[in-house]
Amino acid sequence: MCGKVDRIVNMKKQKKLVVGNWKMNPQTIEDAKQIILIVKRGTKNIRKTEVVICPPFVYLGSVSELKPHIFLGAQDAFYESLGSHTGEVSFSELLDFRVNFVILGHSEKRAKGETDEIINKKIKSVVNSKMTAIFCVGEKVRDQQGEYLAVIKKQIVYGLKDISKRFLENLVIAYEPVWAVDSKEAMRPQEIHETSIFIKKILRDMYGVSSSDVRILYGGDVTTDNVSDIMMDGHVNGVLIGRESLRPKDFVGIIKLVDSI
């Protein structure tokens, strides 16, 4: 009973997480700085939520000094620290820009051929560097037979292969169903809840009770209109946001709603 109470207390202390993935936007450094400034002003009073902004690599240096209470994240990281890898950015190079979080395994990278093996190497490199890996998983199709569950399980099991439980504090799972993103319609909160339970079961089978502190995020058409339902009825620890994170007033609105829960 004592262990159960301790886990409940830990979850209550755990901050929620809102991650903004800018992808290949905006067009200029000045636009990037302006978005950061608006978000910084609008979220200065948040207390229960961590905010992460992941701009394109080329903007990391320009926005790294603008974040006293906003964490800086990267959209990817290569698993080698240096070498002949044209176009790649290494996990070690990101440390110079005070990057705390790195998005890995995103569906857009998987669609371009990124494998579970490569994702696993990247996660190992990031967590070994004491940064937090935001590990994205999600099915392309949600079939009635439940085969999508096997897809999610494979992504998690292979993505976290040989990663010790001592690195769980540097791990976040972002559930982002590809079909929901493509349809531009968020999943029903009940379905999000069911999937988050399934993800937690996989983690528990792999790591035991230590996995209870791993935060689960949802991503897929999150807006100010649905984020409260997603958080409360979906029972997730936060959200991963794409286009709305480039609309600073809407992004601030989402953050405030999450923080109020």
Give the pLDDT confidence of 177-220 residue by residue, as tens digits.
Answer: 998 877 777 899 999 999 999 999 999 999 999 999 999 999 99
Q: How far apart are CA 25 and CA 258, in angstroms?
A: 24
Residue 84 has pLDDT above 90, yes or no: yes
Residue 37 has pLDDT above 70, yes or no: yes
Residues 122-131, mean pLDDT to the nearest whole number: 97
What SS3 string covers the chain? Answer: CHHHHHHHHHHHHCCEEEEEECCCCCCCHHHHHHHHHHHHHHCCCCCCEEEEEECCHHHHHHHCCCCCCCEEEECCCECCCCCCCCCCCEHHHHHCCCCCEEEECCHHHHHCCCCHHHHHHHHHHHHHCCCEEEEEECCCCCCCCCHHHHHHHHHHHHHCCCCCHHHHHHEEEEECCHHHHHHCCCCCHHHHHHHHHHHHHHHHHHHHHHHHHCEEEEECCCCCCCHHHHHHHHCCCEEEECHHHHCHHHHHHHHHHHHHC
Q: What is the pLDDT of residue 9?
A: 38
Residue 8 has pLDDT above 70, yes or no: no
Give the pLDDT confidence of 156-167 residue by residue, as tens digits.
Answer: 999 999 999 999
| Residues involved in catalysis | 106, 176
What domains appear along the chain, each with residue ranges and CATH number? 16-25+34-42+49-60+70-260 (3.20.20.70)
Q: In whole numbers, what is the pLDDT of the chain averaged over residues?
A: 92
Residue 250: alpha-carbon gap to chain centroid? 19
Q: Could you tell me the pTM of the whole model?
A: 0.93
